[in-house]
Amino acid sequence: MNPFEYDALPGRVVFGAGRRHEVGAEAQRLGVRRILLIADGHDLTFVDEVVKCLGDLCVGVFTDVVQHVPLEQAKHVRDLATASRATATVTLGGGSATGFGKAVSLTHAIPQIAIPTTYAGSELTPIWGLTDGEHKKTGRDLVVLPKVVIYDPELTLGLPVAIAGPSGMNALAHAVEGLYGPGNNPLMTALALESVSVLSTHLPLMSASPSDLEERSHVLYGAYLAGAVLAVVGTALHHKTCHVLGGLYGLDHGKMNAVVLPHALAFNAPAIPEAYDRLSTVLGGDAAQQLYDLARTLGTPSSLASIGMPRDGVAVAAALIAHEAAANVRPISVEQATTLLNDCLAGERPG
């Protein structure tokens, strides 16, 4: 057996339908008395509910969440935290809402209780991101790792399949790269394979029956496992590719994940024979092909061209990917990155 290292991350997870109503009790448990609620406002009924659950503990509400945590808006929320003398935040929403809570924790060193409503996984990681103009800066700091995460699948019942499918593929990408990313260890392999099994089984069922709470619960659980893997293992070629494309062309994060994942995995396959075999066993056939077919079943876009990648953008992106993914499990040359991007652009089945 190969030697390994594992830095376990702290945090409490509360999982189950209706458990958002326990947010007040969780705040009391943490010993925090003044809470700023940060919500993306996709459903104000849920915001009102959480305000009610927090009662006197709630000293402010911010609902103007936008994607990628722009510095200006982050400053505004930080000022709100200062003015309201908040001693904690509660975030309610997707990765963007979670990101605003992290921005406050970073400067104010106050704890966050995260109530995620998508499958992004940010709630489990100590990674923060802030966008200054065109440039998204990221960093790792334990102070931004939420102290409590409340997963309530009822909150995801309204997540449209058009967002849930790509968001689910994003979660799958966290689990898949968890098998060979830089911080992989046997525990993370076990979690990642379980996550792939749960997500690949239940994403199609959820997409066929979006109002089925049981299916929504399974998918949220699979995404939770994937986020836990991402937080420890980090990322490889697939995520580096998406990061480059997102920065250059502002492509939708989830849709881009759905297109790139089978191709990035197929490229890495020769360097990860054991992981690839185990993944293929869980998926019931060649892993890259199965993921490509799963994405089709979920109705996610098949090509980067269809989500706005310019055809003349390949060269500049390929050069950046070859540079950014230098530490990938299989180093990628500019020529190989060009081939990979051309396949993604056209929506080819991975070879």
Residue ranges that bind ligand NAD, judged by CB under 6 A: 40, 42, 67-68, 93-97, 99, 117-118, 120-122, 125, 127, 129, 155-156, 158-159, 163, 167, 253-254
The least CB distance from residue 232 to ligand NAD, in Å, is 12
Strand 58-62 and strand 127-132: pairing? unpaired
Nearer to ligand NAD (CB atom), residue 228 or residue 269: 228
Whether the Cβ atoms of residue 32 and residue 81 lie closer than 8 Å to each other: no
% helix / strand / coil in the chain, to the nearest 5?
60, 10, 30
Q: In this structure, which amino acid lies at residue 190?
A: A
Closer residue to ligand NAD, CB minimum distance, 161 or 271: 161
Point out which residues pair with 175 in neighbouring strands.
Answer: none
For residue 9, the 8-state DSSP code is P
Question: Whole-number minimum distance, CB 144 to ligand NAD, in Å?
Answer: 8
Return the number of other C-beta atoms located less than 10 Å from residue 143's C-beta.
15
CB of 131 to ligand NAD, least distance (A): 9
Q: Where are the beta strands (DSSP E) in the chain?
A: 12-15, 35-39, 58-62, 88-93, 112-116, 127-132, 135-140, 148-151
For the bound state, the minimum distance from the C-beta of residue 128 to ligand NAD, rounded and expressed in Å, comes to 6
Shortest separation between residue 219's beta carbon and ligand NAD, angstroms:
12
Least distance CB 119 / ligand NAD (angstroms): 7
> Cα–chain-centroid distance for residue 12?
18
Three-state DSSP at 10 gives: coil
Which residues, including other chains, have CB under 8 Å from residue 11's CB and lie 6 or more apart?
124, 145, 146, 147, 148, 149
Query: Of the two residues 122 and 189, which places its CB atom closer to ligand NAD in the complex?
Result: 122
For ligand NAD, give the closer residue by CB, 111 or 350.
111
In the bound state with ligand NAD, the residue whose beta carbon lies nearer, of 57 and 179, is 179
CB neighbour list of residue 200: distance below 8 Å, 6 or more residues apart: 172, 282, 283, 290, 294
The per-residue b/e assignment along 75-96, b for 16 or more CB within 10 angstroms, e otherwise, is eebbebbeebebbbbbbbbbbb
Least spacing, CB of residue 160 vs ligand NAD, in Å: 6
Least distance (Å) between residue 95 CB and ligand NAD: 2
Residue closer to ligand NAD (CB basis): 121 or 350: 121
Q: H/E element holding 328? A: none
Between residues 121 and 301, which has the closer beta carbon with respect to ligand NAD?
121
The residue among 49 and 348 lying less far from ligand NAD, judged by its C-beta, is 49
Query: How far does Cα 244 stand from its chain's mean position?
Result: 16
